A and B are shown apart, each in its own frame.
Chain A
């Protein structure tokens, strides 16, 4: 899946997620969840990575599901969990199987306004810089014997963490400024558009078609259930 055009992946997954989010029939919601799991299994994204990412999203999914369960009953609560999980798994596969910059470039080529795609790209770069600085700072702290800050009563430890957190922002900001200078040196005009204008290949079209068929079938059954 890594070799597919980012545009094909975005179109396929967004269509599927939109349809899955609209489903209300329990059987169809579980069918969408099963399809999402099948998609994950064929995506070649390591299962461990996906499970870890899903575990990160699980608290939010559970908050939504438990809220629905409390107000509308267990069936609706389980339905909410399955529906949200189907969407989250598909989106996690998309994010994991596509380089972030490819993803943003794909969005740009799909017609997302340049200000949005450029902001996404620059925000992503800034987050990477911050994460990089955070790791350096943590290593530097550990290298000098710091192991505090694990308890709310460890005031000295919390103070040090506060100082270093501030330093992370200062250093990341310095590097971000350098990055901006790098962009300006290369004639940046607030549009990180890609150069190659490749066409979608047969595999990309097949990928989109698969999602179109699956999503079409789900929505047809959904509408049929109310006919």
Chain B
């Protein structure tokens, strides 16, 4: 059974403007799915709907076996951990460790001490345990917010623009951290380079689903990219141009590892051809 099932989900704002229409997809346990699309495509609204913050909607949302309906929001939220775009929206307590313990304490979960320690350790924030979270850097606040979410051990992580507002170092640290987590993740983002490193699957939405597949497949769909207003990572753009110039790249790499192996293959083939002459 899928850990998240969304079937025919539609939602309109109060003034009647449709925000999302007929969205259906399933996410398997352990899968990392990126939701991408232009501004106003409905990415954040989709997350709000899954978490039960937007009503009324039509369609079905089933999280870890629990269907979302009027009255089941709190139950459904127990399976979800949401990382907000701005960590200040989810940090409330006077010290980092108190903030990390906040969720488990509210939900009366067991072994709060162990949960706090594990969450702090896995986000590299042990040394900040007694610090005042509001005085930390944006990157560190994101880590604290992740620790707060992890301490609740949710079945699914919802990450809303996880890399926004981070400097390159903090961004790459965060990507490394998320990459190391063996958890089901749904991330709404514009950062395709992060998607290349993190996601197994990409869903492009612009009110409704326009594409569902891998980023490598999406990289070949220029029409789709243009229609959805999505810019490929610089690395993919470079290989796309080289391909247009006649170099024999079989696919457009989306990550550094892909690019390295594809480049090595092309160089080898070119060398062999020269030797053959």
Chain A contact residues, CB within 8 Å of chain B: 99, 101-102, 105, 121, 125, 175, 178-179, 181-189, 191-196
Please tell me if the beta carbons of A188 and B90 are within 8 angstroms of each other in the complex: no
Please tell me if the beta carbons of A181 and B53 are within 8 angstroms of each other in the complex: yes
Residue of B nearest to A102 (CB): B94
Please tell me if the beta carbons of B94 and A195 are within 8 angstroms of each other in the complex: no
Q: Which of B53, B94, B101 sits near A101, CB closer than 8 Å?
A: B94
Residues of chain B within 8 A of A187, CB atoms compared: 74, 77-78, 103, 106-107, 152
Please tell me if the beta carbons of B89 and A182 are within 8 angstroms of each other in the complex: yes
Residues of chain A within 8 A of B112, CB atoms compared: 195
Q: A101-B93, A101-B94, A178-B89 are in contact. Are A189 and B106 (CB under 8 A)?
A: yes
Number of A-B contacts (CB under 8 A): 78
Task: Flag B129-165 by CB within 8 Å of A: 1 or 0 each.
Answer: 0001010000000000000110010000000000000
Stretch at the interface among B80-88, B181-189, B199-207, B234-242: B80-88
B58-109 at interface with A (beta carbon < 8 Å): 73-74, 77-78, 80-82, 84, 86, 89-90, 92-94, 97-98, 101-103, 105-107
Please tell me if the beta carbons of B94 and A181 are within 8 angstroms of each other in the complex: no
Residue of B nearest to A181 (CB): B53
Residue of B nearest to A175 (CB): B89
Residues of chain B within 8 A of A178, CB atoms compared: 84, 86, 89
Residues of chain B within 8 A of A101, CB atoms compared: 92-94, 132, 134
Tell me how far the C-beta of A222 lies from the nearest C-beta in chain B, rounded to whole angstroms: 37
Main secondary structure of the interface of A (DSSP, over half): helix
Tell me how far the C-beta of B172 lies from the nearest C-beta in chain A, rounded to whole angstroms: 26
Q: A99-B132, A186-B102 are in contact. Are A194 and B94 (CB under 8 A)?
A: yes
A166 to B16, CA, bound (A): 25
Please tell me if the beta carbons of A181 and B51 are within 8 angstroms of each other in the complex: yes
A194 to B97, CA, bound (A): 10
Please tell me if the beta carbons of B81 and A192 are within 8 angstroms of each other in the complex: no
Q: Which of B77, B89, B92 sits near A121, CB closer than 8 Å?
A: B92
A154 to B248, CA, bound (A): 68
A184 to B53, CA, bound (A): 9
Beyond contacts A99-B132, A194-B93: 4 other A-B pairs, Cβ-Cβ < 8 A, are: A184-B74, A192-B93, A193-B105, A196-B98
Please tell me if the beta carbons of A185 and B80 are within 8 angstroms of each other in the complex: yes
Tell me how far the C-beta of A133 lies from the nearest C-beta in chain B, rounded to whole angstroms: 12
A183 to B93, CA, bound (A): 11
Interface: B55 (CB within 8 A): no
Q: A99-B132, A178-B84, A195-B98 are in contact. Are A185 and B93 (CB under 8 A)?
A: no
Interface: B179 (CB within 8 A): no
Residues of chain B within 8 A of A183, CB atoms compared: 90, 92
Please tell me if the beta carbons of B93 and A196 are within 8 angstroms of each other in the complex: no
Please tell me if the beta carbons of B102 and A196 are within 8 angstroms of each other in the complex: no
Please tell me if the beta carbons of A186 and B89 are within 8 angstroms of each other in the complex: no
Residues of chain B within 8 A of A189, CB atoms compared: 106
A175 to B90, CA, bound (A): 11
Please tell me if the beta carbons of A182 and B93 are within 8 angstroms of each other in the complex: no
Q: Which of A102, A185, A196 sits near B82, CB closer than 8 Å?
A: A185
Tell me how far the C-beta of B108 lies from the nearest C-beta in chain A, rounded to whole angstroms: 9
Please tell me if the beta carbons of A185 and B106 are within 8 angstroms of each other in the complex: no
Q: A194-B98, A195-B97, A195-B101 are in contact. Are A185 and B51 (CB under 8 A)?
A: yes
Please tell me if the beta carbons of B92 and A192 are within 8 angstroms of each other in the complex: yes
Q: Which 5 A-B pairs have the closest CB atoms?
A: A182-B90, A187-B106, A195-B101, A186-B103, A101-B94
Please tell me if the beta carbons of A185 and B81 are within 8 angstroms of each other in the complex: yes
Interface: B227 (CB within 8 A): no
Interface: B48 (CB within 8 A): yes
Residues of chain A within 8 A of B105, CB atoms compared: 193, 195
18 contacts between A and B (CB under 8 A): A99-B132, A101-B94, A102-B94, A105-B93, A178-B86, A181-B82, A185-B51, A185-B81, A186-B102, A186-B148, A186-B149, A186-B152, A187-B107, A187-B152, A194-B93, A195-B101, A195-B112, A196-B97
